[in-house]
Amino acid sequence: MKKKHSTLAFAVGLGLGLAIAVPGASAAEAADAAAPRSNAAAAARPNALWSYQPVIAVAAPKVKAARWVRTPIDAFVLAKLEEKGLKPSPDADRAAFIRRATLDVWGVIPTPEEVRQFVSDRSPDAYEKLADRLLASPKYGERQARRWLDLARYADSAGFQGDQTRPNMWRYRDWVIKAFNADKPYDQFIQEQLAGDEIKPGDQDALVATGFLRGFPDNINSRDLVQKKYQHTTDMTDTVGEVFLAQTVGCARCHNHKADRISQKEYFQLQAFFANTSAVDDIPAAKGAAELAYEQADAKWKAATAEIRAKQKAIIDKVREPAKHYLLDRYSQATQASLRKLYSTPEAQWTPHDRWIINRFSDYGTDDVLAAYLRDNADPSAEQYQPEYAALADDYRKLGEELRKFDKLKPAGGSLEISAMTELGQTQAPPTHLLFGGDFERPVEEVQPGFPAAITSEKPVIVPTEKSSGRRTALARWIASPGNPLTARVYANRVWDQYFGRGIVETLSDFGKAGQKPSHPELLDHLASSFVEHGWSVKQLHREILLSSVYRQSSAFRQDIASADPENRLLAVFPRRRLDAETIRDSLLVASGSLTEKIGGPSVFPPVPSNLYTGNAWKVSADKDDWNRRSLYIFTRRSIPYPLLQPFDIANTQQAHAKRDITTTPLQALTLFNSEIVFDWSKALAGRVLRERGGSASAQLDGLFEIAYARKPDKQEKTTLLAFLDSQERVLKAQAANGKFAVNVPIGLEKAGPLDPIRAAAFVDLTHAVVNSNEFTYRF
């Protein structure tokens, strides 16, 4: 396609090679090397692990209850159930289904109007129209982007003790959103993220796409840049192995893999694909509205601070040369060897290794860093003490304090640059060595780029471009080839996990021997082969699952299934699942009518608790509309996770995060119950209900449930809720009589007419309870 639960429970409880243009290789030889290999060739691996076997399209099995089969998916699942003498569950009611599907595809609850429209649509293609509408919405791309950013270890800061802001990374986040909404074929999606700079040189979007590789945590203050280079290439290698191939290749960095047939040498052959890859954070971005607004604000700040900054520069200029050498002396010996070429050797004589080191150093050696020379040597006991240094250091400090007074003039967010991974305009890559015990200081033999022999017998044939080695292109096209036995399986399995809470292979990023075997191997191959057959269309993959009878089943408890299949691996019942952190927050925003529906742009800073010390790391956005953006757009600072999301198992940004934990802890209920932000949203929701449903208590309760749960309360629930309102009203009146009550008036009722403030406050408390319930925070 390129196109009945406890309401007030508080528990919250292979294939394709690419042309290494070997000197002397002809264009015909390169083209032949790049041609897809047949399945017959790949099939000549009888002893290979199941996941290394070629993907073969399997015919859907014959089943007895054929009328239940809506898509081929259903036949594969039903066949397993019939083997065990089990029957699938009936369809969920329509209101429950649209709530489920909307939460899964959009990451927010549906509106009552959307629910009513679907429930009342009795046309034979009602479910198809719903699926197409969900997949066509920009909200789909936002939801899928959040899933992918977990894998990309996305953050807006570098991590470690400095945790410096990365002002450009939001561009990668926005690229991912656009890619999913445009249904960019997954094979292109892979290639642009791994080698966009090589495949589409000069293309801004392709450069931004390489932010996938750029997302690594980074200690900018590292004094051993040789070690840092090793850490960066290690991160990229391990991440690519886990995310695209579901291979724990990192286990082979220090020794041969203990479980899989991946040798230490093969690990470093994979690292060699990234040997010449370097982060570049100052590529000029095309100037759109956001960039022009940033430029205007930045110009005002620069004009206001020009004199101060000039005085700072004048101070550093007095000691620039000794300060540079002082800084260099603090690096490792191996690093110094490269850095000194920066000042003493023509650029033409720099080696590829030198270029990487010098590029990373140039991002760090700012005037503020050089000022450390003055501070460190201002004391008479310092090794390089000069009498005037104390005065210069003090002057520089005072100027810094003056400069900070103009911080409010700085642009609130955004940038004029792109962060990307390139090869610094050079085709020659530094050598890669197998390292004894994985120790970067103990190189052994030099290795060339290569693929693990256990997966494929193909050899990379690399064609350098004008400004790059071409190595990552070779790797990217092999990974993204139809003949690769892992790529389509791995991604289809990830999408299945999104909908059913468990992958067909439960270990989403480990398709090796230590991982779990597939519960439905033929189904996995069907999904993978269909995925490729449909042009790697991610939306088509989602659509087939959404339209299946398996996905349409009720989640109502069945004792027979609980006894026969306690973990529900056979999927005779639709699995219930607690919503993830972002979906809970975003659904609260939708319910309260507070959501700011703006797509993309620089990350935002909603308020955090006043007792959370953040220093200058969390400057709350001045525009209050930004406070209510989707959670996807909240600034992801590695050292300061957003407090409202943290108790609900948000992703670990330090490494590729394949699957969210689903825990039930008291802190979750306490967070929702005690958070002033959540209580304000509850007041806004109460105001919305009173505004839309008038003065009838029965109509108000219906409206509240329709917004929060996509259904009306039954008779018993309504009786209980009305009794609570009466009881809570008496409690609040007693508090008011004692002078201990501050009225919590619903928000947004300025034009609602006369209102009993006590009764309205009681309704706020009821609303707050409803959004703290299991039924709101779970998907059924």
Give dist(CA 155, CA 149) in Å, integer: 9
- Cα-trace Rg, the chain: 29
Say which residue the tokens 């590292």 belong to.
222
Q: Are 418 and 175 in contact (CB under 8 A)?
A: no
Cβ 656 vs Cβ 148: under 8 Å: no
Query: How far apart (Å, rounded) are the C-alpha atoms in residues 421 and 195?
Result: 8
pLDDT band at 9 (very low <50, low <70, confident <90, very high): very low
Task: Name the pLDDT band for 304 (thresholds 50, 70, 90).
Answer: very high
The confidence score (pLDDT) of residue 624 equals: 95
Average pLDDT over residues 53-75: 96
Buried (b) or exposed (e) across 118-146, using 16+ Cβ within 10 A? bbeeeeeeebeebbbebbeeebbbbbbbb
Contact 665, 635 (CB under 8 A): no
Compute φ and ψ for 420, nearest 5 degrees.
Answer: -150, 175
Confidence band (pLDDT; 50, 70, 90) for 33? very low
- Name residue 574's amino acid: F
Confidence of residue 756 (pLDDT cuts 50, 70, 90): confident
Position 4 pLDDT exceeds 60 = no
**Mean pLDDT computed over 171-195:** 98
Residue 616: alpha-carbon gap to chain centroid = 25
Alpha-carbon gap, residue 51 to 67, rounded angstroms: 32
Average pLDDT in the 148-175 region? 96
pLDDT of residue 737: 79
598-617: average pLDDT: 93
Question: Using CA atoms, how far apart are residues 245 and 383, in angstroms rounded to an integer?
Answer: 53
Closest CA relative to residue 659, chosen from 491, 502, 453, 469: 502
Mean pLDDT for the stretch of residues 558-572:
97
The per-residue pLDDT for 19 is 32
Give the mean model confidence (pLDDT) for residues 173-188: 98
| Cβ-proximal residues to 508 (8 Å cutoff; 6+ apart), any chain | 246, 490, 493, 494, 497, 658, 659
- Binning pLDDT at 50, 70 and 90, where does residue 36 land? very low
pLDDT band at 6 (very low <50, low <70, confident <90, very high): very low
CA distance 568 to 556: 12
**Phi first, then psi: what are they for 634, rounded to 5°?**
-70, 135
pLDDT at 564 over 60: yes
CA dihedral sign, ordered 17, 23, 24, 27: positive
Phi, psi of 779 (to 5 degrees): -110, 125
- The predicted-structure confidence for 574-594, as pLDDT tens digits, reads as follows 999 999 999 999 999 999 999
Determine the longest span between alpha carbons in the chain, in angstroms. Answer: 94
Q: Is the pLDDT of residue 25 over 70?
A: no
Mean pLDDT on 450-458 = 97
Instruction: Indicate if the pLDDT at residue 267 is higher than 80.
Output: yes
User: Phi and psi for 619 in degrees, rounded to 5?
Assistant: -95, 110
Q: What is the pLDDT at residue 219?
A: 92
Which pLDDT belongs to residue 45? 66
**pLDDT at 741 > cutoff 90:** no
The residue-averaged pLDDT of 291-313 equals 96
Residue predicted with more confidence, 50 or 13:
50
383-392 long-range contacts, CB within 8 A, separation 24+:
384/322, 384/326, 389/319, 392/315, 392/318, 392/319
Q: Measured between alpha carbons, how far is 575 from 556 in angstroms, rounded to an integer?
A: 9
Q: What's the pLDDT tens digit per position in 487-534?
A: 999 999 999 999 999 999 999 999 999 999 999 999 999 999 999 999
Res 8 pLDDT > 70:
no
- Phi, psi angles (nearest 5°) of residue 157: -145, 165
Number of C-beta neighbours around residue 661 at 10 A: 11
Average pLDDT over residues 266-277: 98
Query: Is pLDDT at 255 greater than 70 in this prediction?
Result: yes
Angle at 227 between CA 249 and CA 370, to 5 degrees: 145
Strand partners, 604: 634
| Mean pLDDT in residue range 689-718 | 95
- Indicate if the pLDDT at residue 310 is higher than 90: yes
Closest CA to 223 of 341, 319, 357, 352: 357
